[in-house]
Structure 1
């Protein structure tokens, strides 16, 4: 079980929050989280890189010069891979990069990654009512009161993302806001600090506890 301090909008400590998630064994934790991270980044690749072979590149139908008698090396096409403007040997072609990982392993890796960031987790009270209209400056000032460097990489996890909070957060360059149901290993490991609400922590516990 992990205990977290809960802070209010002014940055004062107002209570405690706890969460308990089943994580991987210490000896295998790094391996399973690494596999999940590699899977996520690999599956994000588009796989659309493509080059043309000598059969696909335009031109090259006529033999550049006769086979013998010129003193030059024999050539059958000016679109050979040896020529400038020719085809590409063993170049990339569109392909699928998808890696598979069992659902239970993926969820175990996600819980392990989240629990490993407990020291960088900031839990705050619900603050959506503080934004009657979008105001990025108010959110940045709140981060400073919570002890977070607004210039660092911040991941904000909310049970739901109100419009005014979303509009206030989208202008902060290195801040990413996601719903508690959309956790992923890359974002959890990439952020310097993770911000969530008590309700967000409860939602994570509810969705990922199994």
Structure 2
């Protein structure tokens, strides 16, 4: 179990929150998190890239010159891969890059990745009421009060999307906001610091605490 300090909108410590997730064993933790990360990145690939072989390039049906007597190399088609405008040898074709991973393993990897970032975790009270209207400047100032470095890549995890919070956060270049239901290994590992609202932490504990 990990105890986290909870901060309010002004950056003052107002309590503690606990995080207790079942994680992978130390000797296998890095392996399972790496597998989950590779799976997520592979599954994000579209796999729609395509090139044409010499059979698919239009034209090239007529032999460009006779076989013998010209002094030039033999040629059967102007769409040979050796020619400009010809087909592509062993070029990429549409394919499925998806990688399978058991659901229990995915959830274990997610819990392990999240709990491994507790040193960079900042828990704050729900602050949607402090933003009655979208205001990026006020959110930036609040992040500074929470002790976040200006140049850090920040992952903001909320329980539910709030329009005022979303509109305030979207113009901050180094901030990514996701809901607790969209938690994923890549975003957890890519961020320098994680900011989690108290309700989001409760949701994570309830959903992934098995």
TM-score, scaled relative to structure 1: 0.98
Match of 1:195 in 2: 195
Cα distance between partner residues in 2 of 1:52 and 1:126: 54
Match of 1:35 in 2: 35
Match of 2:147 in 1: 147
Can you list the C-alpha shifts for 1:154-204, whole angstroms capped at 9, x where unaligned?
A: 100011121100110111112111111110000000000100111111100
Say if 2:99 is the partner of 1:104.
no
* 1:149 shift after superposition: 1.9
Structure 2 unaligned spans of 5+: none
Cα distance between partner residues in 2 of 1:150 and 1:167: 19
Match of 2:18 in 1: 18
Cα distance between partner residues in 1 of 2:5 and 2:207: 22
Q: Secondary structure of 2:14's partner?
A: strand
Cα distance between partner residues in 1 of 2:65 and 2:199: 77
Q: Which runs of 4+ in 1 moved over 6 A?
A: none
Cα distance between partner residues in 2 of 1:58 and 1:153: 49
Match of 1:47 in 2: 47
Match of 1:208 in 2: 208
Q: What is the root-mean-square deviation of aligned Cα atoms in Å?
A: 0.7
Cα distance between partner residues in 1 of 2:166 and 2:17: 24
The worse-fitting range, judged by mean Cα deviation, of 39-48 and 57-66 is 57-66
Say if 2:104 is the partner of 1:94.
no
* 1:150 shift after superposition: 3.5
Match of 2:156 in 1: 156
Residue correspondences, number? 210
Cα distance between partner residues in 2 of 1:53 and 1:105: 41
Match of 1:2 in 2: 2
Q: Secondary structure of 1:6's partner?
A: strand
Match of 1:129 in 2: 129
Q: Secondary structure of 1:157's partner?
A: strand
Structure 1 unaligned spans of 5+: none
